[in-house]
Amino acid sequence: DQQVKQNSPSLSVQEGRISILNCDYTNSMFDYFLWYKKYPAEGPTFLISISSIKDKNEDGRFTVFLNKSAKHLSLHIVPSQPGDSAVYFCAARGQGGSEKLVFGKGTKLTVNP
Amino acid sequence: GAGVSQSPSNKVTEKGKDVELRCDPISGHTALYWYRQSLGQGLEFLIYFQGNSAPDKSGLPSDRFSAERTGGSVSTLTIQRTQQEDSAVYLCASFLGRGLAGGRETQYFGPGTRLLVL
């Protein structure tokens, strides 16, 4: 059973527009959420995170929104740039001592010039 | 080195052979993870080392998989009697260590080892 779901395997947007990547989770024990970006032949790199006590976290062009009641989070990239083209993974971490990350399957973002 | 390194970058082996994958974490990081990513799937947790504590092996898919971490630094993931379904990218990640820097910490990933079992 997938605890973290990214239902869109791919997304294509025009340069300068907003990219919105979505993620749903089922485990209410998750209390920390992260987004990673992955280029081909490289390991994932951390992008932005949010604690469950917040509903928004912003870092430059990247903003993550968390809706706990809907168990949904989203990553907004604005304005999108061609260099943002990559696979984006949503990940969640449980409460307490668990440091395991549970990942979604990823969404491949393509930003067209 | 500045980041997490893994070797080999690519490994092709025959079904039934044993393979060893190596991870060099960031110097000073006490926590180390192994994940794998099969084709079209997300990252799957395998094993977690934290300092001198007993590792969390709950993600290892079978007893053919084992890992060790020598001297609290380098880690080796061993897959015995490889099967075709073991083909995946195996990723290692490290971070400073829970509690040492306060709060939640970012895991830093290596580039991965691409394993293909024929």
What confidence score (pLDDT) does residue B100 get? 46
- Rounded Cα–Cα distance for residues B72 and B55 (Å): 12
Q: Does any CB of chain A come closer than 8 Å to the CB of residue B38?
A: no
Task: Using an 8 Å CB-CB cutoff, list chain B residues near A36.
Answer: 109
Burial zone of A72 (CB within 10 Å; 0-12 exposed, 13-18 middle, 19+ buried): middle
| Contact yes or no for B36/B91 (Cβ under 8 A) | yes
Tens-digit pLDDT profile for residues B44-94: 999 999 888 888 898 999 999 999 998 878 999 999 999 999 999 999 999
What confidence score (pLDDT) does residue B98 get? 58
- Kindly indicate the confidence band of residue B95, based on its pLDDT and cuts at 50, 70 and 90: confident
Q: Does any CB of chain A come closer than 8 Å to the CB of residue B42?
A: yes
Task: Using an 8 Å CB-CB cutoff, list chain B residues near A34.
Answer: 106
> Is the pLDDT reported for residue A97 higher than 60?
no
Task: Using an 8 Å CB-CB cutoff, list chain B residues near A103.
Answer: 35, 42-44
Residues of chain B above pLDDT 90, percent: 63
- Rounded Cα–Cα distance for residues B79 and B83 (Å): 9
Residues contacting residue A95 through CB under 8 Å, at least 6 positions apart:
A29, A30, A31
What confidence score (pLDDT) does residue A31 get? 86
What confidence score (pLDDT) does residue A75 get? 98
Q: What is the mean pLDDT of chain A?
A: 92
- Kindly indicate the confidence band of residue B99, based on its pLDDT and cuts at 50, 70 and 90: low
Closest chain B C-alpha to A18 CA, distance in angstroms: 24
Q: Does any CB of chain A come closer than 8 Å to the CB of residue B40?
A: yes
What confidence score (pLDDT) does residue A40 get? 87
Q: Does any CB of chain A come closer than 8 Å to the CB of residue B49?
A: no
- Rounded Cα–Cα distance for residues B58 and B45 (Å): 9
Write the DSSP string, B8-52.
-SEEEE-TT--EEEEEE--TT--EEEEEEE-TT--EEEEEEEETT
